[in-house]
Amino acid sequence: MSDQHPPRILVVDDSRSVREEIKEILRAARPDAVFHEAENGLEGFKLLMEHPVDLVLCDLVMPEMDGLKFLQMRSSRPALQAVPVIMLTAVGDVDQKVRILSAGAGDYVTKPFHPGELVARATVHLNTKLLQDELKQKNELLLALSTTDSLTRIYNRRHFLEVARKEFERCDRLDLVASLMIFDIDHFKSVNDNLGHHVGDEVLVAICNLVQQSLRDYDVFGRYGGDEFTLLFPQTEAAEALAIGSRIGMEVGAMRLDALMGATVTVSGGVSARVNASDTLETVLKAADHALYEAKRHGRGRVIAS
């Protein structure tokens, strides 16, 4: 059984004595097991929705909702399909077993069950569930590493461009508008030179956290490189994107960090919009970058639209 966390087991049976017997048998093999109990399939399904579970042992015949109906309800929720179910049945004929397995059960145990068999089957399914969970976590970690910047935890350049390209393709299909903003931190080199790169990193993280709080759920934020960042505003006119960018600039200017020892930082930004099919991602990025250059040329600490 799992060494990562205590096994979480749901026992669904209308007989209290059977539930107690199952718990006693499994607890002898794993004293730290956490149990949830239900008297019928409906109650069991509710518990499965409310609590993380590693294994379900479910009786086939129960009042209100039987085991097959429980399996049907479970199959309607993709997130629950990874939870293995061992069906408990007093009927041992092949047709019944086939029906149980076809309905989505991972295994079955015929009553009256042998304690050793019950422990063995439960252990197999718990170990399989553990391996599946570990694989899922590793895949999620790999995805995060491949799409996010390790310092700021926002999208990296490659993934930002990938998302932005897909959004521009959507704009082409549906004739939608979208805006882009590029901004960087004014005189950021002096922060690193005078206060140290660790302070520079703290500034980058603080600004990214602040910006994320100002964005809408569907806006896209990425680190373009160094202290340069990009923002994609789907279905947003340039004027609205400029207003958002200007607000972000003011919020950054008002930010206070102890590590800066009383100093403040400002950002300069450029905004450009995709308004027709001739405006590709590359041309809009280039226009936003030119507007950023103009913002710096006009004194920094401001956001300008192309």
Q: Give the tens place of pLDDT for each residue, 135-151.
A: 988 988 888 888 999 99
If asked whether residues 110 and 209 sit together in one domain, one would say: no
Last residue of a domain, one of 88, 119, 147: 147
User: Confidence class of residue 1 from pLDDT cuts 50, 70 and 90?
Assistant: very low
User: Confidence class of residue 69 from pLDDT cuts 50, 70 and 90?
Assistant: very high
Q: What pLDDT, on the 0 to 100 scale, is given for residue 277?
A: 87
Question: What does the pLDDT look like over 26-57, one tens digit per residue?
Answer: 999 999 999 999 999 999 999 999 999 999 99
pTM of the model: 0.65
Alpha-carbon gap, residue 235 to 218, rounded angstroms: 10
In angstroms, the Cα distances linking 120 to 29, 57, 111, 188 are 10, 13, 15, 61
pLDDT at 123 over 90: yes
Question: What does the pLDDT look like over 173-221, one tens digit per residue?
Answer: 999 999 999 999 999 999 999 999 999 999 999 999 999 998 999 999 9
Q: What pLDDT, on the 0 to 100 scale, is given for residue 71?
A: 94
8 A C-beta contact, residue 223 and residue 149: yes
Is residue 2 situated within a structural domain?
no
If asked whether residues 53 and 168 sit together in one domain, one would say: no
User: Confidence class of residue 5 from pLDDT cuts 50, 70 and 90?
Assistant: confident
The 3-class SS string of 195-246 reads HCHHHHHHHHHHHHHHHHHHCCCCCEEEEEECCEEEEEEECCCHHHHHHHHH
115-124: list long-range contacts, CB under 8 Å, 24+ apart.
115/25, 115/28, 118/22, 118/25, 118/26, 119/25, 119/26, 119/28, 119/29, 121/86, 122/1, 122/9, 122/26, 122/29, 122/55, 122/57, 122/86, 123/1, 123/29
Read off the CATH number of the domain in which 33 is found: 3.40.50.2300
8 A C-beta contact, residue 83 and residue 77: no
Instruction: Return the residue matching tokens 């020892």.
Output: 261
If asked whether residues 218 and 277 sit together in one domain, one would say: yes
8 A C-beta contact, residue 7 and residue 34: yes
pLDDT at 235 over 80: yes
pLDDT at 94 over 90: no
If asked whether residues 228 and 132 sit together in one domain, one would say: no
Q: What pLDDT, on the 0 to 100 scale, is given for residue 158?
A: 95
If asked whether residues 217 and 276 sit together in one domain, one would say: yes
Is residue 167 situated within a structural domain?
yes
Paired tokens of 191: 């922060």
If asked whether residues 125 and 244 sit together in one domain, one would say: no
How many domains are contained in the chain?
2
Last residue of a domain, one of 147, 171, 203: 147
8 A C-beta contact, residue 212 and residue 154: yes
For 112, list phi and psi in degrees, rounded to 5.
-70, 135
**pLDDT (average), residues 98-122:** 92
If asked whether residues 143 and 176 sit together in one domain, one would say: no
Last residue of a domain, one of 82, 117, 147: 147
8 A C-beta contact, residue 83 and residue 53: yes
pLDDT-above-90 percentage for the chain? 79
Average pLDDT, the chain: 93
pLDDT at 127 over 70: yes
Query: Residue 99 sits in which domain range?
Result: 8-147
8 A C-beta contact, residue 42 and residue 58: no
**pLDDT (average), residues 221-233:** 96
Paired tokens of 105: 């059960």
pLDDT at 2 over 70: no
If asked whether residues 142 and 213 sit together in one domain, one would say: no
Q: What pLDDT, on the 0 to 100 scale, is given for residue 125?
A: 95
Please choose, from the candidates 5, 186, 18, the residue with its C-alpha nearest in 3D space to the C-alpha of residue 90: 18
Q: What pLDDT, on the 0 to 100 scale, is given for residue 23?
A: 96
If asked whether residues 143 and 162 sit together in one domain, one would say: no
User: Confidence class of residue 93 from pLDDT cuts 50, 70 and 90?
Assistant: confident
Q: What pLDDT, on the 0 to 100 scale, is given for residue 155?
A: 96
